Amino acid sequence: VAPVIAIDGPSGSGKGTLSQMLASRLGYHLLDSGALYRLVALAALNKKQELDDESGLARIAAALDVRFETDGQSTRIFLDGNHVSDAIRTEDVGMAASKVAAYPAVRDALLARQRGFAQIPGLVADGRDMGTTVFPDAEHKIFLTASAEARADRRCKQLSAKGIFVNRDEVIRDIQARDERDINRSVSPLKPAIDAVVIDSTRMTIDEVFAAMLDIVRR
């Protein structure tokens, strides 16, 4: 079986960037499981599916027609043949994703699809429940975290680099609302697996976190 490295943590912890860096460095496949929840949300919004209809959302999740095209550095995502890499990254879709992700039937519908990403030579799996639910036998488990303020500042910086200026307090509130939903949901809540190594990156640079991660996976 292919080795799996599970990277979990809250929104804005740097998981996405660091998981991509780690996958590139190791030559592994990458699973961006958050993108799957975002795709379910986008498909539901496109189909005018109510976001409180669990079985309707689970049907959308099970039937999701998605393609990930990767060149080893970045990934292009297609939904029903349309390029949606940017469309799934909006705040609205992120908030809707965090709502649909709270439904057990939606999570169930995505489980086998996520496990299918574990292929030779290996997989870096980025999400909230990679080490606890999807890949409980992962070779390495890392839980990345940082204070809500630090995560909000990184998010504001990312957005301002794109010419988008947002209110810091609003971003902090959004992050806290999303954390709350992720931590308190009934299935696969956000928490470190008992055998995960926790890295708090509040006072670390991205290069320092990456070095710490390489250290862990080479142990």
Among residues 156 and 218, whose Cβ is nearest to ligand C5P? 156
Q: What does the alpha-carbon distance between residue 117 and residue 120 come to, in Å, rounded to a whole number?
A: 9
Sign (positive or negative) of CA dihedral 115, 42, 172, 177: negative
Element (H, E) at 125: strand 123-127
Among residues 83 and 215, whose Cβ is nearest to ligand C5P? 83
Least distance between ligand C5P and beta carbon 178 (Å): 5
End-to-end CA distance of the chain: 19
Q: What is the binding site for ligand C5P (CB under 6 A)?
A: 11, 33-34, 37-38, 94, 97-98, 101, 127-129, 178, 182
Least distance between ligand C5P and beta carbon 62 (Å): 16
- Estimate to the nearest angstrom the gap between the alpha carbon of 169 and the chain centroid: 23
Among residues 209 and 219, whose Cβ is nearest to ligand C5P? 209
Closest CA to 2 of 124, 148, 152: 124
Among residues 42 and 215, whose Cβ is nearest to ligand C5P? 42
Grouping H, G, I as helix, E, B as strand and the rest as coil, residue 212 is: helix
Least distance between ligand C5P and beta carbon 121 (Å): 22
- Residue at shortest CB range from ligand C5P: 34
Grouping H, G, I as helix, E, B as strand and the rest as coil, residue 126 is: strand
Q: What does the alpha-carbon distance between residue 10 and residue 215 come to, in Å, rounded to a whole number?
A: 22
Least distance between ligand C5P and beta carbon 55 (Å): 18
Helical segments of 14-103, H only: 15-26, 33-46, 54-63, 91-100
Q: What does the alpha-carbon distance between residue 20 and residue 72 come to, in Å, rounded to a whole number?
A: 9
Among residues 11 and 217, whose Cβ is nearest to ligand C5P? 11
Q: How many CB atoms neighbour CB 79 within 10 A?
A: 21
Among residues 38 and 197, whose Cβ is nearest to ligand C5P? 38
Among residues 158 and 215, whose Cβ is nearest to ligand C5P? 158
